[in-house]
Amino acid sequence: MSNTKPRILNDWRDLIWSLLPLVLICLVIAGIASQCTFTANGPTQGQVPHFDAHTALADDAKTIGFPIREPALSADWKPNSGSRDTIPAAGGGAVSTVGYITPQGSYMQYTQSNATEDVLAKKIVGSRYASGTAQIGDRKWVEYSEPGSEPAWITDFGDVRILIKGAGNASAFNTLATAVDNAQPLPAH
């Protein structure tokens, strides 16, 4: 006769005792890989990766077939990422994106494209819908929102659509929108 009890007699305590060694092993591996730290003060913000937005946007201005703008933001807006993409759908086009960390530590995305507003919105913000407008200077921005999602704003410069989105507050959106509106296209050569 076997010393193991029938499965029907197992309860939550058996589950805890089974999972405890696995959790401990995961914590040890994470600690060894320096992916997990334990502090008395809770989590701390890591170092923001550096991204050379000026060089990336200048390169995009030379290679993408529409005017690229570089917003003049204060030094405490840290560029941390960038990408170039293409929307192949009808009404699509090239896409240039730079991500920034605001002085408050929020992420804001700045995207430029020659795609139509509808196609750009579908690609970047998905199912969010136009929910209003914001007037920043002389430019009207269409606000896209959905409960539980970050807002996004899109404006039309004629040959270019600009989309900004992120976790920033209203001040961050206003700052980025104003900087974009004031930016002149970079030289294409």
> What tens digit of pLDDT does each residue of 24-62 get?
888 888 777 765 555 666 656 667 788 999 999 999 999
Q: Is the dihedral of CA 21, 24, 28, 30 positive or negative?
A: positive
Residue 35 lies in a domain: no
What SS3 state is found at 113? strand
What's the number of domains the chain is made of?
Answer: 1
Residue 104 lies in a domain: yes
Q: Chain-wide mean pLDDT for the chain?
A: 89
Q: In angstroms, rounded to a whole number, what is the distance separating the alpha carbons of residues 170 and 47?
A: 25
| Mean per-residue pLDDT, 87-98 | 95
Interior angle at CA 141, CA 139 and CA 147, nearest 5: 160
**What is the predicted pLDDT for the residue at 40?**
62
| Mean per-residue pLDDT, 65-93 | 95
Residue 38 lies in a domain: no
Residue 31 lies in a domain: no
Query: Domain holding 173: CATH number?
Result: 3.30.200.100
Q: In which band, very low, low, confident or very high, does the pLDDT at 143 lie, cut at 50, 70 and 90? A: very high
- Please say if the pLDDT value at position 78 is more than 60: yes
Q: What percentage of the chain has pLDDT greater than the value 90?
A: 65
Residue 171 lies in a domain: yes
**Domain range enclosing 143:** 53-182
Contact between 79 and 71 (Cβ < 8 Å) = no
CA-CA distances (angstroms) from residue 80 to 51, 83, 94, 152?
A: 5, 11, 21, 19
Q: In which band, very low, low, confident or very high, does the pLDDT at 77 lie, cut at 50, 70 and 90? A: very high
CA 55 from chain centre, in angstroms, equals: 20
Residue 42 lies in a domain: no
**What is the predicted pLDDT for the residue at 8?**
72
